[in-house]
Amino acid sequence: MSRFVKALLVVVFAAWTILGGATVATSATPSPSPSQEYGCLQDSDDYGPPGPCELQIQLLKPFCDNDVPKLSYAVKAIGSPNTTVTITWINPGGADFVQSDLPLTGTVLWPGAVVDDNGNAVDWPGWTLLPDGTWVEGDQWDWVRPDTQVKFEVNPEMTVDVTYPPSSPQCLTSPLNAAPPAPELSSTGSNTMPIVIAGAGLVAVGGLLMFLARRRHQAS
């Protein structure tokens, strides 16, 4: 065998070895599938339909506890290994309120509700405390009352409507010493109460004059 042929065989063998080694290294580290990346388990084979991937809300209960508005929830993730849920309160006119890394079952404060160290309510969403100690309606949390949308995300996700829990004699979800509403005005913008009082006075005076006239007539 000539030197040329031997050299050619050596080159071919070396090239085959290098290419074969590169192929083995590439196949040993496959990239993760999209379903694994996003935490939704599916069938491992490529022949059957994908496995289920859905979120079920098993409990959704707005309630009042120690004068504090709260939301109890329980979700079940099917086809996902994730064990935490993200709750997003959707603000239709601004930034959403997000509560992350929560257990799949639990209770959260209503956005805008504030409690002290003992769990007692000190502020409520949609109310502002004035310097004189009076509460008036209106603050940055107006959008969470009376209804709002809440999105639960495990993977997949679900959005539902929730209603702010009302006050009761046993539990308040609004301040006790709130300012009474301002009196309503007529369409002209004036208060009609003085007119009503004046009319009642004229009727009384007229009745008194008629009574005196009858007594005078009987005396004559």
Average pLDDT of the residues in 114-139: 95
The widest CA-to-CA distance across the chain, in whole angstroms, is 165
pLDDT for 199 beyond 70: no
Question: What pLDDT is stored for residue 53 in this prediction?
Answer: 85
Q: Check: CB of residue 58 under 8 Å from CB of residue 72.
A: no
Query: From CA 196, how far away is CA 169, in angstroms rounded?
Result: 36
Q: What's the length of the chain?
A: 220
Confidence of residue 176 (pLDDT cuts 50, 70, 90): confident
C-beta of residue 93 within 8 angstroms of C-beta of residue 143 = yes
Per the domain annotation, does 211 fall within a domain?
A: no
- DSSP-derived 3-state class of residue 186: coil
Cα separation, 174 vs 168, whole angstroms: 10
Q: DSSP assignment, residue 170?
A: S
CATH number for the domain harbouring residue 138: 2.60.40
**201 in a structural domain:** no
Q: Residue 92 is part of which domain span?
A: 54-163
pLDDT at position 79: 87
Q: Looking at the 3D structure of the chain, how many domains does it have?
A: 1
Q: What is the residue-averaged pLDDT of the chain? A: 75
Residue 138 belongs to a domain: yes
Residue pair 54/79 in contact by the 8 Å Cβ criterion = yes
Which residues fall within 8 angstroms of residue 36, CB to CB, at 6 or more apart? none
Question: What letter would DSSP give residue 29?
Answer: S
Specify the pLDDT at position 104: 97
What percentage of residues in the chain have a pLDDT greater than 70?
Answer: 57
**Residue 134 in domain:** yes
Q: Which of 14-23, 123-132, 178-187, 211-220 has the highest mean pLDDT?
A: 123-132
Model pTM? 0.62
Q: Is residue 145 part of a domain?
A: yes
- Amino acid at residue number 91: N
Residue 5, in any domain of the structure: no
Assigned domain for 151 exists: yes
The residues facing 58 across adjacent strands are none
pLDDT confidence of 48, banded at 50, 70, 90?
low
User: 191 lies in a domain?
Assistant: no
- In this predicted structure, what is the pLDDT of residue 137? 94
Residue 158: pLDDT band with limits 50, 70, 90: very high
CA atoms of 46 and 208, how far apart (whole Å):
101
Mean pLDDT of 173-198: 57
**What's the DSSP call for residue 100?**
E
What end-to-end distance do the CA atoms of the chain give, in Å?
165
